[in-house]
Structures are given as structure tokens and as C-alpha cells.
Amino acid sequence: MYAFTRFGGFTMQLQSIDAKKGVCRKAFFLALLTAALIFIPFMVYDKGYFFFFGDFNVQQIPFYKLAHEAVRTGDIFWNWYTDLGANFIGSYSFYLLGSPFFWLTIPFPTEFVPHLMAPLLILKHACAAATSALYLKRFVKTREYVVMGAILYAFSGFAVYNIFFNHFHEAIVFFPLLLVGMEELVTENRRGIFALAVAINAIVNYWFFIGEVVFVLIYFAFRSFSRDWRMTLKKFFWVAFESVVGMLLAMFLFLPSALAILGNPRTGGTELLDGWNFWLYWHAQLYPAIITSMFFPPDLPSRPNLFPDRGAKWASLSAWLPLFSMTGVIAYVQSKRDWLRKILLFCLACALLPGLNSMFIMFNNSYYARWYYMPILLMAMATMIALENRSINLERGFKITAVFTAAVTAILGLTPIIDSAGKVSLGLTKYPERFAAIAAISLLGLAALILIIRRYRETKLFSRILTCALCFVCVTYSITFIAMGKCHSDYPDFLRDTALDGRYQIDLPQEQFARADIYQGMDNLGMYWHLPNIQAFHSIVPVSIMEFYPDVGVKRDVSSKPETKYYQLRSLLSVRWLFIADDKEEQDPMPGYSFYDQQIGFNIYENDYYIPMGFTYDYYITETQLNTVDEAQRSAVLLRAMALDKEDAVQNDDLLEEMPPEYYEYLGEEDFYIDAENRRATAAESFEIDNRGFTAQIDLPRENLVFFSVPYDKGWSATVNGEPAKIVQANIGFMAVRAPAGENTIRFSYMTPGLLPGIAGSSLGVAVLIIYLLIWRKRRPAPEPLPPRGKTNGFDALRVPDGPEPEWMELPAPPAEWFDEHPQSPPGESKGSKQDGSQQKREGTA
């Protein structure tokens, strides 16, 4: 089947629609095999699991496990095992709730989920190859080169770096669909695909979607000046319309997610780039680090090596293409003057200018390169076009790449350093042996590339040999990267036997709700054990938590880790259990604890001054007054008086007396014991949690405010004895409610803010999309008749639009099937209709 188009009065016969049939499938299975070769050896080593290091071990695995259990049990509103409590949808939509890969785990038992981490990563790499092939095949002529380009994208330095951040791969997988959808809408006038692509990407990860919107706008702007797009106001309108429809479709998850992070300091809304920081990076080493990230395999996220003082840990700084490096990109940029070249150069400018780089993260002043996967897709395309187009001087690109790589290797490896003792050593890198490994991979890969090109380019085996070499480099450098990371990991036996199995071995009384504390333990160990606890490594928690901890002197950025000097804080937050590894020398870090038991290699201590959830005060202090107290003393003050803002203090001064300053000055350990006992004497008789909130039973001698150390959130509503009650924000970030004297049943219920309006918006989006497609189908114009066969000859006379040629605008030499034994046509052989027909015949029987 052939299609036709017209340019400048000429009629052009386009490439067969079926010419690359099955290329996405082949990219998928080749990437699947390549990823399996990377991960399966580590699964064997880890006895059926895949452990990496850092965030992967302490976030990705426990998050998957916690969310999996929450979904299966219907506990999807308020989660009690994330920090002090959190909006489940708001906290986990960034990590996994919008990911189809997460939902594939739901049929499996929760205990089996950690075994699925590596299989899911294998599948993600394969899917990234398939979706990128779907885009690349529009512009790359040769099937084999489409597959190679897809492998470059799926196993780029960015993709392998972000094994550390498992959930980043969803953006890598689904981003190409945005470009495919836009191309289909503008060039083919196919409706609805772009809207669905927008919805999918907005659902999968709302934060990455923000960067994708910026990039797609850049892509649209440059692509609009390409003659084959023939942009009109009408086309612009339909692109905008489908963008809005796509956003409506995603509202059921996007809206609750957006509302959950409003006010979170991690979004940087109050810390925007300005002044010189908009134009210059604050670390001199960051500039060479950005450039060399395109020429070398990635450093470990937490241990930058090539430029250790670049100040960009965990920034996802890598844009390396395995085997090819920048060879094809440089060759293409030097040879072409089209829209692809312009986008690539603009992306380079974005990478080097802080203000432009920050566009992709809402102008946050933190440095991140987490948008690099988008230009990497175009870099892979440029590389493959440079490889197949003989008019592009690939060797010139190779020489520049090789010289730069060798020069950087020499500078970083041979520069002398004299230490304070006068000893001379060579090398600027922090881990010389690791640098030697990645430099060898980069340089030997380039050597193999030029050898294969010079020796085999004119043979029928060229594409297969090159693909094998590419996959070999992908496997080699990925295994090297993972192995280096595992050197910094907790021991696999600890992760397997203590972290994962500990939940089923710990035996503690369950008669009432209580939180735990883990002294100098692995991050999120309490989440592994499914214990409510105050130690948490999680970026997206209620804003009230982010406000509370700094006000009492505790740092709260990406984690909650109150130091032991804030021992009063434990009682305020209803901490009952303290876990300390039995091999630690320090076994008495805080006053007021008694030994309870020894389990799974930990000594367990019980807080003698544990206060059950739900208690009252006799005094209040205003937040303004609290801010005058030394930070180290504020948690002690909060055990003596409830902190209220000025308005709430006035409204409740009939219940509580304002505490004189002399009552909360110089509070010591003995004061802590007295205050904890006083608060415990007023505590609720019962406190029970469930899937929608909690219920407390309390007997009050007089009307009072009952305090709960549950983070304040707009999704909460309360009733007292069945009657609606106003929730008071108390002690900076928590909640209290008025209750009368006598027996009271206090009920707090939670509904995720934005969930119901979001569902309504998505329902509207579905209706609009269906009506839109039905109307378009009825009013769609009939296809133009094919021109006479005789008038489609004279290919050389046709005027082809500038830019990389889309798949439907080419008549390539028919390549051999990927897995068959049919030889390619020798160079120079006639490409007449007979050969075209034989190619179609082979594809039709494949």
C-alpha cells in the first residue's frame, strides 16, 4: 500500500506503509533479551531478588510493596505507614500509582512483589525500545537502523543511570508516544492519538509531564517551520484542543497529585532562579560535567567520579549513547541545517544555561538533568540517519568524538595532584579504577565502531555485526554500572532476611496504635516492617509535616530523621517502640526507655513515657510565642501546652488557659517525665485506624480540645458523637477537635482532595473525546485519488522537504528481515520495482 503527497506542484509516491512492519516488535524483543542479560545474573546472585543501592533499595522496593498491599486491601486514602501519615494517592502517584507496570504486580501476592523488580525493569527497557521505534521509524529509512536507534534510546546512559530511580523509566517508556501522536495529528490528520498520548503521560508521572510539556512546545515550535508539516492555524487549533482533552482524561490522578504538592518546598515555588544564577551555574565543574556526560557512561548517582565537586548528585546527568557516543550526532549537526539540528542545538543551550535548564522543572533553583531522555530520543534518531545517509560525513563526527574522549581521559587520568604531605599522584577522579573502567568502555566502544564501519559497511552483515556490538556494549556497561553501585549497598542477606522477612518475624503487642523509632537504621526499614514510625525517607508527604519538623528544629527535606536529642518529640508523636541493632555500641540514646525484647538482630526498647493517640491540654501557647523559644526546647514545650495560631487561640480560650512564659522556660528531663504523665492521664481509651480514617473513644472530665498527632490535611473531616465538628490545626502541623465532657466518640474521615472533581473531569474528557471522534469520523473528507502510475516516476525530480525524512516520504533500499537469512542487496544493485516487490513479499510472509 502506497500513499501520496504533493510539494511545490510535484506529486510524490511515498514509502509503503507496511515497509517496516514488525520493527517495533523486533526492537521490543531485542531489548528484552539485552535487558535480561543485564539483570538475570544479578537476580541469581541475589537469590531471586534484585538489590541495587541507595534509593532503589530503600524507596523503590518498600514503596512498591506498601502500595501493592494498600491497593489490594482498599487502603487508598490515608496511609499510616508513610512518615507520620500521608495522602496515599498524593504521595505515591509520583512514584508508581500511574504506572501500568505497577498494576501488573497486583495479581501477585504482596510477599512476591520484591521478586518482580528486575522483571519489571527488563520489561520497561523493552517497552522503551518499542515506543521509541514507533517514533524513529517515521524518519529512519532502514529497519535495522530503527531497531538500533531504539536500543540506543532504551539503554542510553540516562536510562541505565536511572535504574537507581526505578520510577523514572515510565517517562522514558511513554514519552515517544507524545511525539508520535503529534506527528500523526499534524501530518496524517489522525485524530485522538495525541490526546491519548497526553493523557497517558500525565497519568504516568505528573512531574515528568511538566517537563514533557515544555519539550513538546519546543519540538512543536521548531517542527512547525519544517515544510513537510505545512502548519496552519487550523492544525494549531486541533493540537491545542487535543492537548486539553488529554489533560481532562488525566484529571482523576493529575488533580489530586497537583493539589498534594501545593506548598511543598520541594517544588521550589519559593526558590526560583534569579540574578546571575539564571545565567551561570554555581559550580565550575558542572559545565564540563554536562558536556562529558554525552561522551562517557554515567557516574553513580550518589558518587560522582569524573567531576566529584560538580554539586549535582542524583541529578540524572547522563546523555551517553552506547557504542556511538556523539559520533552520529556531531556528524549530523555538521552536515544538516534542518529542524532536528536546530532542536539539538537548542537543547544543548538549555543544558548549559541554568535558566533554560530549569524550565523543565518549573524554574526550581535545584539542578536536575531529568529531562535529558527527550533530546536523547532525537540524538538516537540523528545518529541512525547519519549512519544510513552516505552524504553525512560520519568519520568526521567520529574523529571529533574520539579526540574529545581521549583528551578528557588524559586530563582526568594524568593530571598530577600534590597532597598536603607533598606526595604526588596522578588523576583528578575520586575513584580511579572506576574511571578506568568507564573510559575503557567509551574508548574501546569507539574503536570497535570505526573498525566495524570501515571493515563491514559495504557487506551484507554490517547491520547485524553493528547491532551485536551495540548490544554487547549495552550489557557490558550496564553490568559495570550496577556492580559498582552494589559495592555501596547493604548486604543482600540483610535486605532479604531482616528487611523483607522481618515484618513476619517481629512480634509486638497490637492492642493499641503506636509508632516506632529505629535508631540509626536503614532508611525506611519501618516501612519494610509495616510499622507506623517516625523515620521516613519520602519526598512527598503532607505539607503540614514539612512545616512541623523545621519549627521544632528538625531538618525535613527528603526525609524525617529526628535526632535523639529531641526525645520529648517521641512521646508527643506516640512513639512506643525503639529498635537498636544489637551490634551497636550505643544502646541508651534517650532517657525513658526500658528493654523489652531482642528480635531479628535488634534490641527492642519500650518508651516508659509513651502517650497514646488522642490527649488533651490545660494550657495553650500561640505559634508566635513558640517561635520565641529556642528550637531545641520547642518539642518539650509542646508536651506542656498546645500551640495554636492567634485566631484559634481566641476561639478556644474558654477551654485552655494561655501559659505564662515562666512556665515553659528551662524545661529539663524531669519536666518531660511530669508532662508526659499528665498528657497520658488524659489520653483516649481507644484509637482505631481503618481504610478511611480513625475512630477514638475518650472520656473527658470537661469540654476540651482533643489533640491527635495526625498530619493536618484538607481532606480530613470530623464528627464528635455523630455531629460535624471543626478541625483545629494544632501544634503547627496536626489536628485537634472540640469534644464535650463525658464519653465521646470522635471520628475523622479522609477523602483525597481533588479526587472526586478529578474523576468528574476525566469523565467529561472521555465524553468529549468520544463525541469528537464520532463527529470527525462522519465529517472526515474522502482520501484523494491516486495519481496515474506513469506520473509518479522521476523520483529525482521531486522536491523533498527539509529535515529528517519521515518514513512515509522514502523509497529505501529493501533491507533483509531482522531474523531471517535473506541477504541484503549488494551496494549499487538496482532498486527497481522487482526488488521492491520481493521485499514486500518477504515482509508479507514474515
Tens of pLDDT, residue by residue over 41-91, are 999 999 999 999 999 999 999 999 999 999 999 999 999 999 999 999 999
Tens of pLDDT, residue by residue over 682-704, are 999 999 999 999 999 999 999 99
- Using 50, 70 and 90 to split pLDDT, how confident is the model at 820? very low
Tens of pLDDT, residue by residue over 457-475, are 999 999 999 999 999 999 9
pLDDT of residue 792 exceeding 70: no
Q: Give the residue, 15 or 371, on which the prediction is more confident.
A: 371
pTM above 0.95, yes or no: no
Is the distance from CB of 98 to CB of 203 less than 8 angstroms?
Answer: yes
Report the C-alpha gap between 57 and 63 in whole angstroms.
10
Instruction: Scan for cell 517502640, then name that residue.
Output: 577
Which pLDDT does position 451 carry in this prediction? Answer: 97
Sheet of 686-690, strands arranged across = 686-690, 693-700, 742-750, 716-720, 723-725
Report the C-alpha gap between 229 and 99 in whole angstroms.
32
Which pLDDT does position 103 carry in this prediction? Answer: 98
Nearest by Cα to 737 from 761, 769, 703, 762: 703
Which pLDDT does position 309 carry in this prediction? Answer: 86
Which pLDDT does position 230 carry in this prediction? Answer: 86
Least confident of 265-269, 392-396, 481-485, 697-701: 265-269
Which pLDDT does position 19 carry in this prediction? Answer: 61
Tens of pLDDT, residue by residue over 176-226, are 999 999 999 999 999 999 999 999 999 999 999 999 999 999 999 999 998
Q: What is the DSSP string of 144-212?
A: HHHHHHHHHHHTSHHHHHTTSSGGGHHHHHHHHHHHHHHHHHHHS---SHHHHHHHHHHHH-HHHHHHH
Nearest by Cα to 368 from 439, 266, 295, 270: 266
In this prediction, residues 280-305 reach a mean pLDDT of 94
Instruction: Scan for cell 549513547, then name that residue.
Output: 321
Which pLDDT does position 81 carry in this prediction? Answer: 97
Report the C-alpha gap between 34 and 32 in whole angstroms.
6
Tens of pLDDT, residue by residue over 433-455, are 999 999 999 999 999 999 999 99
CA dihedral (361, 363, 367, 372) positive or negative: positive
Report the C-alpha gap between 387 and 139 in whole angstroms.
13
Report the C-alpha gap between 34 and 42 in whole angstroms.
14
Q: What is the DSSP letter of 591?
A: S
In this prediction, residues 475-493 reach a mean pLDDT of 94
Cell output for 791: 506520473
Instruction: Scan for cell 510477599, then name that residue.
Output: 111
Mean of the per-residue pLDDT values of the chain: 90
pLDDT of residue 811 exceeding 80: no
Q: What torsion do the CA atoms of 579, 585, 588, 590 make, to the nearest 10 degrees?
A: -80
Cα angle, residue 155 at apex, residues 149 and 157 outer, rounded to 5°: 110
In this prediction, residues 311-337 reach a mean pLDDT of 95
Residue 784 dihedral angles phi and psi, to the nearest 5°:
-65, 145
Tens of pLDDT, residue by residue over 730-758, are 999 999 999 999 999 999 999 999 999 99
Is the distance from CB of 659 to CB of 696 less than 8 angstroms?
Answer: no
pLDDT of residue 7 exceeding 70: no
Nearest by Cα to 497 from 68, 49, 164: 49
Which pLDDT does position 277 carry in this prediction? Answer: 87
Burial of residue 504 (number of CB atoms within 10 Å: 0-12, 13-18, 19+): exposed
Tens of pLDDT, residue by residue over 118-169, are 999 999 999 999 999 999 999 999 999 999 999 999 999 999 999 999 999 9
Nearest by Cα to 538 from 72, 67, 198, 26: 67
Q: CB 835: neighbour CB atoms within 10 A?
A: 14
Q: CB 21: neighbour CB atoms within 10 A?
A: 15
In this prediction, residues 230-253 reach a mean pLDDT of 96
Is the distance from CB of 216 to CB of 198 less than 8 angstroms?
Answer: no
Which pLDDT does position 783 carry in this prediction? Answer: 53
pLDDT of residue 838 exceeding 90: no
In this prediction, residues 771-780 reach a mean pLDDT of 91
Angle between helices 373-388 and 339-352 (to 10 degrees): 140
